[in-house]
Amino acid sequence: MKRILVTGGAGFVGSNLCARLVKDPENHVICLDNLFTGRMVNIESLLHLSNFEFVEHNVQQPIDLPVDQIYNAACPASPPAYQKSPTDTTKTCIFGVLNMLELAKKYGATMMQFSTSEVYGDPEVHPQVESYRGCVNPIGVRSCYDEGKRCAEALCFDYNREFGVKIKVIRIFNTYGPNMDPQDGRVVSNFIMQALRGEDLTVYGDGTQTRSFQYIDDLVEGIVRMMNDSRSDFLGPVNLGNPGEFTMLELAQKVLEKTGSKSKVVFRPLPGDDPTRRRADIALAKQELQGWSPAVALDEGLDKTIAYFKSLM
Ligand code: NAD
Ligand code: UDP
């Protein structure tokens, strides 16, 4: 039996990962979460399984659990959510990763850090390759998250060099899909909920900023391959994303077409330090993760996500 800890397991990405991991009867999955942005409804269907357990805990505090693998996903990811309590966000990034690295050190476990494309900040290199060191404002409204995640990466590599802890670092680009919180303020959930309710779609700035959107199943596949590739001692950091690049206006248009909504697009002020362009370079992931490549295009992923949000209404 492999004992696997998923921190942030009741959140969007964590719950999809837990659902994937419990399918293997050789896995015992411990989902740890303080429910800051996570929701019990995301793991409701797993709670009765004998190879799944839920532990309510804040990763800022140490915990002692014998484990073989740790997926450290605990951290709010939506800008409004992480900016609501910025100092707490930084504490979650830093104390959380320290506590998980200590746990990995104690039990010889592999610790995977869920890092982010935000470590590239407002990038001057396009698309973003892992060797690019980023352009991050160290004192802006996104810094609690961006610098917290950058420091967490540094801690992972220092624990590896200093103590030999087994680490894996992934940099996740904008991901969407079922189990997203309809209220959490990210663009895909906002646009779909607004369209379904017949409300105006709120485009921030002039809508020409870009993102590359990855469907959740593609991310989970990349995560699991990265953790379990026995042929390689590849530590990362590695980008996991979909290289398709869309403006927010294009996204709004797609959502309106797919939902058949009569909603209008309205423009709202651009939040501080909002990155202008973002696109994942995934050559390294393809090379190191046995040919991993995203399989779900934005159109298909949006259809599935719209169906999920409709089911909630
Ligand atoms: P989410 O907000 O849905 O999930 C985060 C989970 O962490 C929630 O369940 C929350 O309750 C939990 N959490 C937060 N602080 C905690 C703490 N102190 N102790 C215990 N649990 C805590 O966000 P998500 O989209 O699922 O993101 C998961 C991870 O992936 C995060 O680390 C995020 O930085 C990273 N990531 C996600 C994306 C994306 O597009 N979804 C992009 C880049 C990186
Ligand atoms: N955005 C928008 N309308 C919204 C929510 C977000 O236009 O209702 C924009 C936001 O300004 C950003 C992009 O969509 O340029 C992606 O935002 P999100 O919060 O999903 O992720 P992040 O900015 O962290 O990539």
Ligand nearest the Cα atom of residue 149 = 1
Q: For ligand 2, say whether the CB of 174 is within 6 Å of any of its atoms.
A: yes
pLDDT along the chain (313 residues), means of 10: 98 98 98 98 98 98 98 97 96 98 98 98 97 97 98 98 97 98 96 98 98 98 94 92 97 98 97 96 96 97 98 93
Residue 72 neighbours by CB under 8 Å, 6+ apart: 7, 8, 59, 96, 97, 100, 111, 112, 113, 114
- What is the third-level CATH fold of 2-176+213-243+279-295? Rossmann fold (3.40.50)
Task: Show the ligand 1 pocket: residues with CB < 6 angstroms.
Answer: 7-8, 10-14, 33-38, 58-60, 73-77, 81, 92, 96, 114, 116, 172, 174-175
Question: What's the pLDDT score for residue 229?
Answer: 84
Catalytic residue among 71, 82, 145, 159: 145
Which residues partner with 164 through β-bridges?
Answer: none
Identify the H or E element spanning 175: strand 175-176
- Check if the beta carbon of residue 56 is closer than 8 Å to that of residue 43: no
Q: For ligand 2, say whether the CB of 187 is within 6 Å of any of its atoms.
A: yes
Residue 35 neighbours by CB under 8 Å, 6+ apart: 10, 56
* Through-space distance between the first and last CA atoms of the chain, rounded to whole angstroms: 39
Ligand 2, atom 17: nearest CA belongs to which residue? 187
Question: What's the pLDDT score for residue 77?
Answer: 97
Question: What's the pLDDT score for residue 155?
Answer: 98
Q: For ligand 2, say whether the CB of 157 is within 6 Å of any of its atoms.
A: no
- Check if the beta carbon of residue 70 is closer than 8 Å to that of residue 31: no
145 is catalytic: yes
What predicted TM-score, i.e. pTM, was given to this entire model? 0.98
Ligand nearest the Cα atom of residue 266 = 2
- Check if the beta carbon of residue 303 is closer than 8 Å to that of residue 258: yes
Q: For ligand 2, say whether the CB of 267 is within 6 Å of any of its atoms.
A: no
Question: What's the pLDDT score for residue 231?
Answer: 76
CA of 35 from ligand 2 middle (Å) equals 23
Residue 229 neighbours by CB under 8 Å, 6+ apart: 288, 289, 290
